[in-house]
Amino acid sequence: MALFYVEGLPIGWVAIMLALLASMGGFIFGYDTGQISDIVLMDDFLLRFATCTTPGDVSTCAFSVVREGLIVSLLSIGTLTGALCGAPTADFLGRRYAMASECVIFIIGVIIQLCSFHVWQQFAVGRFVSGLGVGALSAAVPMYQAETAPAQIRGTLTATYQLFITLGILVAYCISIAARSAPGSGSWRIVVGIGIIWPLILGIGILFMPESPRWLAVHNRMPEARRSLARTRGVPVEEAQDHPVLKAEADDIQANALYEAQFKSGWIDCFKVENKTLYRTLLGMSLQSLQQLTGANYFFYYGATIFKSVGISDSFVTQIILGAVNFFCTFGGLYVMEKFGRRRPLIVGGLWQSAWLFVFASAGTAKDPAQNPNIGKLMIVSACLFILGFATTWAPGIWILIGETFPTRTRAKQGALATASNWLWNFLLAFFTPFIVKSIAFRYGFVFASCNLLGAIVVYFFLYESSNLTLEKVNEMYTDPKCKPWTSRRWAPPGYASRRDLIQQVKSAEVEKQLAVTGADGNTTNGSANGHSQEHLTDGKAGNGNV
């Protein structure tokens, strides 16, 4: 049975569960990101792994810029490698089994960190191994969610990946502040060790969810693909073959899979000009890079250190405030990205984020925040308002686009390349930020502010509006020579006056189906069905009627 209806179309509870469960991959990433900024300030961690001029006196212990940068950033090198390996893994094993195996890799990395005693290089290598799992998951999870979720709520369900990233960061902050008073190495081992729980939940739970119908279709397993579609729609499996919406969607997926099966799919195909494949590869890589260059991880990786430098007595508490703002504002992002599409929120978000980073950098540059409490407070407020904009636009929006912009044949590889570019910039920022901050202090914010402006420009001139379309129709839109990014919001498949007309006709087909079922039970009749919507739903390769 359907859990609820959106635009008259059924949505099953499985669609919600698979999105939430797969999003544990984002939680793992967020937890690992959030924990390190606090761990590097813990007394026992400093005594074991930092350089101390007086052994046993934590007040004389400090990390060199290089050592701190490596401990923080080696996770990102692992994720970069993992993201590239995640594509062939997801294509070979399937989306579910790939995620389960990647959870095992993450757990191995956590164990290596827990077994570290006095060699900081071992702890850093453990973060690298965990990063392999995180990176592969970051490529697989948004792709799985986009390929499996009903188009009507695809934006919301895919955005839960970012929501869980923010939840993971917040939980890491809360556990860190609770564990910092634990005796000895327990202060940081508790924080690291709890990280094993999250991949266990994902690795085991995902095996009970349906496989991606697009992956099944590519591997010539259409009966299973139809069952997967039926489960996410909350439609009895035995009715899937006759259900007008499911039948049209399955036929479109199968036709697309048969067409793409004629071509071999390798990494080189991601860079071919035909069908705007190269265009979309470069667009995905650019957007993922610009998401890092918004400056969000400047606060998440080094937030405790930043706010300690502006005179905050307990920087751990400030981290929790930032984490809470990030998490709760992401709920707004779920609504914004579904209600207003993809382009408009990203453009507005880029301008908003830029403005508050200019405030942050200007305040920190004008006066020494450590000597001026009001300047410090202004910087915290501006950082929170920046996070508000990021959490509602660029944070969820880019992960949604990575799942729905690319064609099925090369989606895994293009998604991996885009995600790898995210992790490359993640590493560069994590490693070089201590050097840059030491040189230019809070003027670093001006760099990020400029990058946010660039992001808004790139979205306006190059990104197509992909909301309310099936993945097959998104591909059709990108290959339509008459459609331009700034006019794409008005684009609709052939046979429809507008995108709203497309939605209404598919909704009408679903209503007719319900009337027919009711009529079969003897309660009403369906003699008035005009067949117009059904005609659009079954017109073959054009796939009209899908949404």
Q: What is the pTM of this model?
A: 0.78
Rounded Cα gap, residues 545 and 153, in angstroms: 17
pLDDT tens, position by position, 1-12: 677 777 667 788
Confidence of residue 36 (pLDDT cuts 50, 70, 90): confident
SS3 152: helix
Is it the case that residue 536 has pLDDT exceeding 50? no
pLDDT tens, position by position, 362-373: 988 888 777 787
> How far does CA 396 lie from the centroid of its chain?
6
pLDDT tens, position by position, 377-388: 888 888 889 999
The per-residue pLDDT for 511 is 57
pLDDT tens, position by position, 202-222: 999 999 999 999 999 989 999
Say what angle helices 24-39 and 154-179 make with each other, to 10 degrees.
30
Nearest Cα to Cα of residue 396 among 30, 12, 74, 79 = 30
Cα R_g (the chain), whole angstroms: 24
Residue 61 is inside which H or E element, if any?
strand 61-62
SS3 305: helix
Instruction: For tokens 């036929």, name the residue.
Output: 251
The per-residue pLDDT for 541 is 38
Which tokens belong to 92? 């070979």
Nearest Cα to Cα of residue 196 among 263, 127, 111 = 111
CB of 192 within 8 A of CB of 172?
Answer: no
SS3 349: helix
> How far does CA 240 lie from the centroid of its chain?
30
When comparing pLDDT for 127 and 518, which is higher? Answer: 127
142-161 as b/e: b if 16+ CB within 10 A: bbbbbbbbbbbbbbbbbbbb
The per-residue pLDDT for 540 is 38
Nearest Cα to Cα of residue 249 among 473, 524, 427, 451 = 473
Is it the case that residue 522 has pLDDT exceeding 50? no
Give 76-104 as a 3 state SS string: HHHHHHHHHHHHHHHHHHCHHHHHHHHHH
Confidence of residue 288 (pLDDT cuts 50, 70, 90): very high
Domains and CATH numbers, the chain: 4-209+274-475 (1.20.1250.20)
Is it the case that residue 515 has pLDDT exceeding 60? no
Nearest Cα to Cα of residue 13 among 257, 302, 232 = 232
pLDDT tens, position by position, 398-456: 989 988 899 888 888 999 999 999 989 988 887 888 788 888 888 888 999 999 999 99
The per-residue pLDDT for 527 is 39
52-87 as b/e: b if 16+ CB within 10 A: eeeeeeeeebebeeebbbbbbbbbbbbbbbbbbbbb
- Mean pLDDT, rounded, of the chain: 84
Is it the case that residue 177 has pLDDT exceeding 90? no
First to last CA, the chain: 21
Rounded Cα gap, residues 208 and 200, in angstroms: 13
Q: Is 374 exposed, middle or buried (0-12, 13-18, 19+ CB in 10 A)?
A: exposed
